[in-house]
Amino acid sequence: MKAEGLSINMEPAPPPEYGKIKVGDLQLESGIVLPDIELAFERAGKSGGPVILVCHALTGNQFTVGTAKQPGWWHGLIGPEKYIDTNQFEVITFNVLGGCSGSTGPTSINPVTKKPYQTDFPKLTIRDIVHSQVLALRKLGINEIKAAIGGSLGGMQILELAITYPDFAKVIIPIAVTPYLSDYGIAFNAIGRNAIKRDPAWKGGFYSEEDRIAGLEIARMIGMVTYRTGKLFNKRFNRELKDGETFQVESYLNYQGQKLSDRFDANSYLYLLEAMDSHDIGRGRQGWKKALGHITAKTLLLGYTGDLLYPPEDVKEIAEALMKAGKEADYVEVKTDFGHDGFLAEFPKWGGILQAAL
């Protein structure tokens, strides 16, 4: 997996750096000014090397590369002598605005009330999230980057970045994302939202740390069904029973729900779902095809077979529209049983495609 042209004597990259960037006040699309925001980040790879911005998905975080003891969610793709080689590139990931892994969000202290914002936190859009990250990069002294890569919610950010800041990234790789979230996708998000909001423990969003939000666990279970394919579920669980009573697939979904509930904030989940629902690169830009005209970066789009939420044919349509507009664009469909979650698995199938694009 070693990137071609690299010297074997190249000094290895240092361990990832973690911290927070104080961005300052941010005016949101709604017109509300969010004061004193900060973004938590991971900065991995060669200091001073070409910068690659990675944007994470809904329940992701800034721990993209991670460490040997705690590998990040893309550690199989990014690292020393991997497909995105941190001996060559500097890779930066921010926890999104509205997240709950150190960036300003519903769990942060409201400077006015001196209590956590919770549902007093203002509504966010993908564009707000992108603006905050560009400002944070500029605080780091970075005014242009080699590439921007992300899947799902991350892919939404990549498209918005390339349209809003057309000269910022030379290459963009939006993965498993469409120009706008479909009604089908919004429908599943609505079910997840209802599961959380109808849970009495949610308390209108003003719950305590001790409250167990079972609705969040159910929302995660719903999400997991849409992230994978029926073929993968059938192959993996094969109607097997656990302890002779519960189906293995049911046990798996319960585990995934509890696991997310232990590490993720229910309000952050709701705010980010709403930001995803509002995703439409054509909003206020005379439609999504007109919006693509602002993109100047070389573009590679990846779609995954069986993706229920972001069908590969819809991802391909973006590439076709870009090429029709005279832009440099390409599309690759990755054949997988993982469906939407394909961008978090089977890296040997598609990691080399990213490597070549960079």
Query: At residue 300, what are phi and psi to the nearest 5 degrees?
Result: -125, 125
Which run of H or of E encompasses 161?
helix 153-164
- Identify whether the C-beta of residue 255 lies closer than 8 Å to the C-beta of residue 264: no
Active site residue 56: no
Distance, CA of 257 to CA of 223 (rounded, Å): 10
The closest alpha carbon to 147, from 160, 162, 133, 132, belongs to: 162
Region of 159 on the Ramachandran plot (φ > 0 left; ψ -120 to 50 alpha; else beta): alpha
Amino acid at 146: K
Catalytic residue selected from 128, 307, 337, 341: 307
- Identify whether the C-beta of residue 48 lies closer than 8 Å to the C-beta of residue 69: no
**Which structure tokens are listed for 154?**
């991350």
Catalytic residue selected from 101, 103, 108, 152: 152
Beta partners for 235? none
Q: How many CA atoms lie within 13 A of 157 on its CB side?
A: 29
**Which structure tokens are listed for 61?**
């975080």
Exposure class string for 70-99: b at 16+ Cβ within 10 A, else e = eebbbbbbbbbebbbbbbbbbbbbbbbbbb
Amino acid at 249: V
Cα–Cα distances in angstroms (integers) from residue 9 to residues 6, 44, 47, 49, 81, in the given order: 9, 19, 17, 16, 12
Q: How many CA atoms lie within 13 A of 79 on its CB side?
A: 15
Active site residue 279: no
3-state secondary structure of 271: helix
Distance, CA of 313 to CA of 344 (rounded, Å): 20
Question: Other CB atoms closer than 10 Å to residue 213's CB: what's the count?
Answer: 22
Active site residue 120: no
Catalytic residue selected from 56, 279, 340, 341: 340
Q: Which residues are identified as catalytic?
A: 152, 307, 340
